[in-house]
Amino acid sequence: MAVLRSSSRCSVSVIGAVLLVVLVLNGANLCNGGKTSTFVRKVEKTVDMPLNSDVFRVPPGYNAPQQVHITQGDHVGKGVIVSWVTQDEPGSSEVLYWSENSEHKKTAKGKVYRYEFYNYTSGYIHHCTLKKLTYNTKYYYEVGIGHTVQQFWFITPPEVGPDVPYTFGLIGDLGQSFDSNLTLTHYEHNPLKGQTVLFVGDLSYADQYPNHDNARWDSWGRFVERSVAYQPWIWTAGNHEIDFAPELGENEPFKPFTHRYLVPYRASNSTAPFWYSIKRASVYIIVLSSYSAYGKYTPQYKWLEQELPKVNRTETPWLIVMMHSPWYNSYNYHYMEGETMRVMFEPWFVKYKVDVVFSGHVHAYERSERVSNVAYNIINGLCAPIQDQSAPVYITIGDGGNLEGLATNMTEPQPKYSAYREASFGHAVFDIKNRTHAYYSWHRNQDGYAVEADSMWFFNRIWHPVDDSTSA
């Protein structure tokens, strides 16, 4: 009997060991199907680049234009807003521009602005909108007329249409650290070559410096000029754009951001520059504000309620939404900060079959499955997210590299809705092929330019609404 008991104990022990191995090998499945990356980034403090770095260089020449940047200037992609700053004097707000195959230079007249913030007075901020451009055309433009002229170029998008391919880069929470520079360099060298950047908020992080040092808005503008002077960045306002500082006598939210970064909000009948829409190629893009009122009857709520039914998925099959604070987030940073907005707007996202929602705020990367959490009412208790093929994929891309560093603390176990997550800095690319398919990839800074740390094929919710989930 003693031998039998020993044998039984041995059998139980062996079975337990086998079960333990199975459990370890199937850890991802025990985490409800999602994947937490095994990549371990070297733990290093995020360090700002010194202000004498080349990337912050002030261009030579009297009153030379600096911080040059462009964004879409109308609703359909035939306009471009050109912005720049001069320091010595206002100078000219004119832009000379011409198409690649034309020698005739046209002139557009802009306006100049200044603002004060505590003990800082801005340079002369110029904004000029180029209108009625030709689709799919390379244009050259010059600013600094009369003093130090600088020349740049951009390419207009193809005409809006259902099967027009187009590639977007995705960056968020960038800042101006060494990691920020690595992120932007990585994006610039990505073989997929984004044609426009969808920027999900938190630009300069000027509010993190003493007295909201607005000179850090200037340095950031010079840093990103190498990209945003040549391709539009579509702006989303984040919490670091609020710059509300009553202790400094600054009671106007978003003052530096709204003076420096114009968006074409009136073209979509918005009443404020924090929420608006544009069409670009085969995409309808809706930008929302996590830090403006969005409750029922507020201007943003009423605008979105009227905007979503306008989206013609025969003309623009892809529907993308941008906001700063994520709704589905399995990190312990900013957890549930987007919950009240989700409660207000998620039923609309499901009803209108939004394809993907891009957010930032959490300084890490995460991609969800298609889930919704709209069934709950006060008596049914249905308060957990469920798989929903009419719902968008939610992607958090707040991993640009700013001074605050990475979000490394994740909730455990990984929730069902989370398909992939990783605490690394990087950028992403959304490559639309036609009305049915788009290829998405995320690229961590530590890898070669062509390496995809995470990827998936998106199937359009209207034209090819099959299951595109990636979890086992």
Cβ(235)–Cβ(261) under 8 Å?
Answer: yes
Point out which residues pair with 71 in neighbouring strands. Answer: 81
Q: Is the peptide bond before 162 cis (omega within 30 degrees of 0)?
A: no
Which of 69, 240, 324, 334 does the annotation list as catalytic? 334
Which residues, other chains included, contact 34 with Cβ-Cβ below 8 Å and sequence gap of 6+? Answer: 28, 369, 414, 415, 416, 417, 418, 419, 420, 421, 471
Q: Among this protein's residues, is 464 annotated catalytic? A: no
415 DSSP assignment: P
CA–CA distance, 95 with 82 (Å, rounded to integer)? 8
Cβ(187)–Cβ(227) under 8 Å?
Answer: yes
Within 13 Å and on the Cβ side, how many CA atoms surround 138? 6
Residue 319, amino acid: L
Q: Residue 192 is inside which H or E element, if any? A: none
Kindly report the backbone phi and psi dihedral angles of residue 106, in degrees, each rounded to the nearest multiple of 5, phi listed first. -95, 160
Alpha helices in 131-203 (DSSP H): 178-188
Here the tokens at position 224 are: 């990103």
Number of neighbours of residue 396 by Cβ within 10 angstroms: 31
Residue 381: burial class (beta carbons within 10 Å; 0-12, 13-18, 19+): exposed
**120-125-129 Cα angle (round to 5):** 155
The residues assigned a catalytic role are 334
